[in-house]
Amino acid sequence: MSIVVTGATGHLGRLAVESLIQRGVAPADIVAAGRNVERLQEFAGLGVNIAAIDYSDPASLTAAFEGADTLVLVSGSEVGKRVEQHANAINAAKAAGVSRIVYTSAPHADTTSLILAPEHKATEELISASGIPFTILRNGWYTENYAQTVEQAGQSGVIIASVGQGRVASASRADYAEAIAAVLTTPGHENSVYELSGDEAWTHDDLAAAAARILGRDVVYTPLSADEHLATLTAVGLPAETAGFIVALDANIADGLLGETSGDLARLIGHPTTPLEDGLRDALAMPASV
């Protein structure tokens, strides 16, 4: 059995490789694939095979997937380019005779109005059309996404957002990575779709309280309207497109699109998901280069 993990130089892909090894997969049966071969050398030292790939370079994908049984397709990071890039990976997997694809998607990708979902929906459709058996892991929000928010609160004592009292059922990247390893090392996940999220959905008041405990200072959540939020972000120099994206995502949170607690993630990994405060502490302690 050979498992190719794409995006292995990124946070989730790297953790997925580590989780596979922890769950007993032989390093020699894993291919850690990513753009930066230098950053993959730590895996080579463990006996993991490494491969240089670029989603925009089909030839690199063909070479990396040769002889592979399973492809872990960690979604690309280039918004607007992902459908074409993922199509390249799926086509290369089919040509290589890959017998299963595990894809990291977005919550309810096929039905949601979540701003991030359309490219994931399109990718899921491409995987289904390929005829390759699949497991779709619809990852919810990462707790690590709020590490910078907490750092900034250390200076200002304030967390601003336009989410209202919308809830976020986040989990740590390590939890989501362990789910990847779980569906590859236990039976019964072929052609299955899982809605993954943390066990508890929290508000931004809860986020501020967790930040206060971590930082050892008072932190408050100040809710803004969408217009106020947009004006604040552009005033500090964010490009209009980026600011608009953030405000739109906050509107999604306000509408409850990231607040579902299905329990799928905890069931897959066999233990509770990482609590918000613990996940934030771990993220803040992580070296910037990781």
The distance between the two most distant Cα atoms of the chain, rounded to a whole number of Å, is 57
pLDDT (mean) for 11-19: 97
Residue 79 in any domain: the answer is yes
First to last CA, the chain: 28
Percent of the chain with pLDDT strictly greater than 70: 98
238 DSSP 8-state letter? -
Domains: count for the chain:
1
Work out the pLDDT band at 286, boundaries 50, 70, 90.
confident
Q: What pLDDT score was predicted for residue 287?
A: 66
Helix (H) or strand (E) holding 225: none
Residue 103 in any domain: the answer is yes
| Residues 193/138, Cβ–Cβ less than 8 Å | yes
pLDDT (mean) for 31-42: 92
Q: What pLDDT score was predicted for residue 80?
A: 86
Residue 26 in any domain: the answer is yes
Residue 267 in any domain: the answer is no
Position 242 pLDDT exceeds 60: yes
Residue 170 in any domain: the answer is no
Position 290 pLDDT exceeds 90: no
Position 5 pLDDT exceeds 90: yes
Write the Ramachandran bin of 118: left for phi over 0, alpha for psi from -120 to 50, otherwise beta.
alpha
Cα–Cα distance, 207 to 215 (Å, whole number): 12
Domain hosting 69: range is: 3-139
Q: State residue 238 phi and psi, 5-degree precision.
A: -70, 140
Cα–Cα distance, 130 to 97 (Å, whole number): 11
Cα–Cα distance, 217 to 2 (Å, whole number): 49
Q: What pLDDT score was predicted for residue 288?
A: 57
Q: What pLDDT score was predicted for residue 37?
A: 87
Residue 95 in any domain: the answer is yes
Average pLDDT, the chain: 96
- CA 230 vs CA 107, 148, 151, 197, 251: distances in Å: 25, 18, 21, 28, 12
Q: Which is nearest to 106 in space by CA: 94, 97, 114?
A: 114
Position 229 pLDDT exceeds 60: yes
Q: What pLDDT score was predicted for residue 122?
A: 98
Position 1 pLDDT exceeds 90: no
Predicted TM-score (pTM) above 0.85: yes
Residue 194 in any domain: the answer is no
Q: What pLDDT score was predicted for residue 226?
A: 97
pLDDT (mean) for 136-147: 98
pLDDT (mean) for 61-86: 94
Cα–Cα distance, 27 to 83 (Å, whole number): 30
Q: What pLDDT score was predicted for residue 260?
A: 97
To the nearest 10°, the Cα dihedral for 178, 140, 31, 185?
40
31: CATH? 3.40.50.720
Q: Which is nearest to 107 in space by CA: 254, 252, 10?
A: 252
Residue type, 14: R
Q: What is the pLDDT of residues 198-226, one digit of tens each?
A: 999 999 999 999 999 999 999 999 999 99
Residue 212 in any domain: the answer is no
